Structure 1
Amino acid sequence: MKKSQLAVQLYTLRDYLKTAGAVDRAFARIREIGYEAVQISGVAAPLAAVKKAADDNGLVICATHAATPDLLGNRAKVADELAMLGCKHTAFSCVSDFQIIDRGAVLEFAGEMEKAAQELNQHGLTFSYHNHNMEFGKIDGEYILDLIYANAPHMLAEIDTYWVQYGGCDPAEWIEKYAGRQILFHLKDFRPLFFTATTAPVGTGNLKWQEIIPAAEKAGAQWFIVEQDSCAKNPFDSLKDSYDYLTKNFVR
């Protein structure tokens, strides 16, 4: 990967992004660490302020996680927002349990995702699906995530390494399975705890990055987006730990 392909998923910093001024300060710190791009999610400040802060701090907006109501009912708004941000990629952030409770629900959900993908494609945009752990359950012997992708062929994959592992599967295998269908790729490490687990800076958990990163590069990932849902210390410090590990071990 190139250093310019590393990005921050802003959900990591959601508590620091509530006003325009806060966004500008956060973006300055992101740029100081060395990141050159961000993915918008969990930002309370107006999008126009986010765009200005990105421009002022020399950050590319590589992608967004669009609001679910807009993806389902106002996709023109999603396209307009992406145009304003100078961005070509968005994704669906999180499925609800009721949307994947049985095969019929999964197929209905996938059908809506396919409609969103086709409409956004008409605007020259890409639409990806961000997995969590629930999609690695099975219905009639098939992984739910496979069912979703099979029935939304125009939708890309935004594989999240932590949640694949949490779902009991191998991140590198799933990246390889959907090679050629990935532009956005979420990096977060997996730290086991008593009866559960938590997210961790890349390189400090038990994920096999020497297998994962080459698989993602081979699969065609364009953006390597660092995210940490919860941080044991200041999230900016966690983001720096991930950045330092990735640049030391994988940036060429």
Structure 2
Amino acid sequence: MPKIEQFGVILYTLRDFVKTREDALATFEKVSKMGYKSVQVSGLSADLFSEQELVEVLGERGLTICATHESGEQILNETDKVIARLQKLGVRYTAYPYPAGVDFSNDEEVDALIKGLNDAGRKMADAGLVLCYHNHHHEFQHSRGKVILERIYEETDARCLQAEIDTFWVQRGGGSPAGWLRGLKGRSPLLHMKDYRLKSDSLDADYAEIGNGNMDFVEIVREAEAAGCEHYIVEQDTCPGDPFDSLSQSFEYIRKNLVW
């Protein structure tokens, strides 16, 4: 089982609480007091802090940056800017967050995305950095006879593209989070931990605190560790109440059930 220090929070969950410097600093303090040791920078305006300032204010609260989400367009088309930002932050990992504007029913557009990811990832790897791919359920559509997420990993070099598996979206797409982690052994440095709760009044599902949904996170974390996961990142896109309460609940479940 991993160590508690490997568990962090993606700031996207707290996006409504990091809109000003003052709010962001208070948010960092609350995250630290919960027990988390790192954050993935996402949903935080780059205008609030310089890269050096962000590292400093987080460090003063006992937090490090485990990874970022950068603009997908910038990753593909302005890779050098992404590299420069990560180097200033002292962060090795970023993840392509969302395939905005990509028509997954068009094989040629899927081909172009895959090539773009591989090319950008190669530039990043040459700089000592790692590009990961963050999936949603869209990638479980088919292209050229295969699940698109399979194509993304099969048709890119592991040196150029690694995985940030999102457990909720894999399950929403009809896949097995543990199974995908087994298949991406050695290629899964980041994991988005997001529980999946069925709604009583519809066939849809909702996000849940870790342990409050129907996922077997003991198995998922075991497979993630075997796959070489370095950072376990808690995410909850929407929360039923105060997101700080939800993240605290998730941390307590993790502390009691998933760590040494």
The TM-score, its normalising length taken from structure 1, stands at: 0.96
C-alpha offsets along residues 172-228 of structure 1, whole Å, 9 cap, x if unaligned? Answer: 111111111010110010011213111111110001112111010101000000000
Q: Does 1:21 align with 2:29?
A: no
112, 128, 148: which one aligns with 2:132 = 128
* Structure 2 CA distance for aligned equivalents of residues 89 and 110 of structure 1: 19
Map residues 146-161 of structure 1 onto 2, 5 A cutoff: 146-153=150-157, 154-161=160-167
**Unmatched 5+ stretches in structure 2:** none
Map residues 216-227 of structure 1 onto 2, 5 A cutoff: 216-227=224-235
Contact 1:107 1:151 in 2 (8 A): no
Q: Does 1:234 align with 2:242?
A: yes
1:13–1:47 distance in 2 versus 1, CA, 3 Å: farther
Give the corresponding residue for 1:176.
Answer: 182
Q: Does 1:73 align with 2:107?
A: no
C-alpha offsets along residues 218-251 of structure 1, whole Å, 9 cap, x if unaligned? Answer: 0100000000000001111111111110111111
C-alpha offsets along residues 78-124 of structure 1, whole Å, 9 cap, x if unaligned? Answer: 11111121111111001136342222211110000001100011110
Identity %, equivalent residues: 38
Q: Would you identify which runs of 4 or more consecutive aligned residues in structure 1 move more than 6 Å?
A: none
C-alpha offsets along residues 147-177 of structure 1, whole Å, 9 cap, x if unaligned? Answer: 1112222200110000000101111111111
* Structure 2 CA distance for aligned equivalents of residues 97 and 86 of structure 1: 30
100, 104, 110: which one aligns with 2:104 = 100
* Structure 1 CA distance for aligned equivalents of residues 244 and 33 of structure 2: 10
Q: Which moved more, 1:137-146 or 1:153-162?
A: 137-146
Question: Number of paired residues?
Answer: 252
Contact 1:100 1:109 in 2 (8 A): no
User: RMSD across aligned C-alpha pairs, in angstroms?
Assistant: 1.3
* Structure 1 CA distance for aligned equivalents of residues 91 and 119 of structure 2: 20
31, 34, 49: which one aligns with 1:46 = 49
Q: Does 1:247 align with 2:255?
A: yes
